[in-house]
Amino acid sequence: MKSFASFIKNIVPYSKFKEAKIWTDFYDKDVPDEIYIPDMTINDIWDATVKKFPTNHALIYFGKNISYHYLDELVKKFSSGLLAQGLQRGDRVAIMLPNIPQFLITYLAALRIGAVAVLINPLLSGREAFMQFKDSGAKFIVTIDRLFPRVNRILHKIDVEKVIICYVETYMPSFLSMALQLKNKVLLKKDKFDSNKVLYFRQLFNYVVPEKPHVKPDDTAILLYTGGVTGKSKAAVLTHQNLVANVLQSRAWITNLKEGCEKIMAVLPFIHSYGLTACLHLSLQSGSTLVLEPRFKIKRLLADIKKYQITIFPGVPTLFAAIVNYQGLQSNTLESVHSCISGGSPLPLFVKRKFEELSGGKLVEGYGLTEASPITHCNPLYGINKERCIGLPYPNTDARIVDVQTREILKSSQIGELEVKGPQVMRGYWKNKNETVKVLSRDGWLATGDIAYFDEQGFFYILDRKKDIILSGGYNIYPSEIENVLLEHPNIAEAAVCGIPDDFYGEKVHAFIITRNGLNIDKKELIRFCEGKLGRYKIPKEFIYKTAFPKNFLGKVLKRELNKNSRV
């Protein structure tokens, strides 16, 4: 069998390229300048893998193995249940789940029938989730029992036909499942919900498997909410073709990936575009095994890396920093890992060097954004790696720097806004043309909102964020959202939220506050005020009181000055 790299090289001759991209000279040896991206869907990728690797383990969940063949049977039955309950092609299904087997079943079943998966972060507050349910027009919601009370409180406000409840314990080994159900199970009482709307996950398996509806590559596959460049929440519309392109680009980048043999650590949440592509899609495309981690717990994570001999580990700097700093780390725990790509925030050089020393594998930094499915750049796994650098554009991806004001295309070493173009770039924002035209040109260039430059070899560097997005533990946090919540407090006159550099999280959320009466508000009171209005990861870690904010002549708060004065 030919290697994946040789296959795509033979299909696309190098003479095809319209213009030279200087960065391709620095790709790893077997990474092609450009790859062939066929007209296919995620469903086509899944069907091909199931046919080729039916007995391979598709996933491992707390020691329970599920084969590709068995998972495919579950997907087909669940898709039948969705159809029987009234879900149709083009309808939206909100998936509000951690990394558990039911996520894969629901996601693949929804795509199978041509529905659109709306990926909702389980950490969102009820109010935040409500806004996304309503905006997407989700017809069905799939969530876990522990989150149902949060959904139930807003159910009467949204036009949802069915809420499907599943349990974290269901696909665990029986002894562990029973123990956790006794300890943690949240009992749902009939008087708490409308029985016509709520179903249990298992009920959707009781239907005959229908013929698979025809789904086209340019059909919408997912809606993913992001603040994007402007910080205002909206959903990126990603097609099957977008997702297929990005997983094939990622597959080509990891030249030593052995089809059907890899074990991929899935601790990155699938509801995030990075986890979806770098973990779930990459594993499904290559016939690999996903080791699911619904929550990050360092001791269990390390035990699973060693037990299952993890080979590929996509993550964020916070994860890798936690591992290299863990006191109980054994010398041979990481020795099976050969490839790690870090995204979400800058990768500290110390963390990179220490992880590679401990594992013997490669840890490199990449870059992307939800609007690009998400990966657009990555450092070579075996070639040149430069400090504080996001690397080179992926195959089939173009990148340039433009002047922020004039949009003139700049040369190497000149600083401006990074723009990218490629088959992984979104169609636009869901029902939001005004926001779409702000970032997506008619000829397909996506403005990232990041201030950057590239050097003479085509390596790109991010210097700043155009709209002060905070990157904390791999999450994008938008200051304006938090500021708006704080200003709802009757005693707060002004609020400014910034990301303060942090060795562990990358950045921590700090809120600067001016009160109406000049008196400090108790920190615990402010945290309680934010709870229920913001996801926990968005609630400021510190509240700093000021009598005045530094501002420019237009009255805009100079957050850089606040940051500078707050660093220790």
DSSP letters for 275-336:
HIIIIIIHHHHHT-EEEE-SS--HHHHHHHHHHHT--B--B-HHHHHHHHT-TT--TTTTTT
Q: What is the mean pLDDT of residues 506-510?
A: 91
Q: Please name the residues in contact with 224: beta carbons below 8 A apart, sequence gap of 6 or more.
A: 119, 235, 236, 238, 273, 370
Length of the chain: 568
What pLDDT was estimated at residue 563?
74
Pair 154, 132: CB distance under 8 Å: no
Alpha helices in 116-210 (DSSP H): 126-136, 148-152, 174-184
Pair 404, 416: CB distance under 8 Å: yes
Listed in order, strand segments (DSSP E) in 31-123 are 57-61, 64-67, 92-96, 116-119
Pair 65, 57: CB distance under 8 Å: yes
Closest CA to 418 of 393, 394, 400, 438: 400
284 has pLDDT over 80: yes
Pair 55, 125: CB distance under 8 Å: no
Residue given tokens 């949440």 in the structure block: 269
CA distances from 251 to 8, 394, 433 (A): 11, 11, 33
Share above pLDDT 70 across residues of the chain, in percent, rounded to a whole number: 91
> What's the gap between Cα 321 and its chain centre?
19
496 has pLDDT over 60: yes
273 has pLDDT over 80: yes
Q: What is the mean pLDDT of residues 478-507?
A: 87
Residue given tokens 């401006």 in the structure block: 416
The pTM assigned to this predicted structure is: 0.86
Pair 530, 539: CB distance under 8 Å: yes
Partners of residue 502 on adjacent β-strands: 506
Per residue in 111-124, pLDDT tens?
Answer: 999 999 999 999 89
* Phi, psi of 100, deg, nearest 5: -125, 165
CA distances from 378 to 26, 250, 306, 320, 393 (A): 11, 9, 26, 17, 7
Per residue in 64-80, pLDDT tens?
Answer: 999 999 999 999 999 99
Rounded CA separation 204/454 (Å): 52
Per the prediction, the chain carries an average pLDDT of: 89
What pLDDT was estimated at residue 445?
98
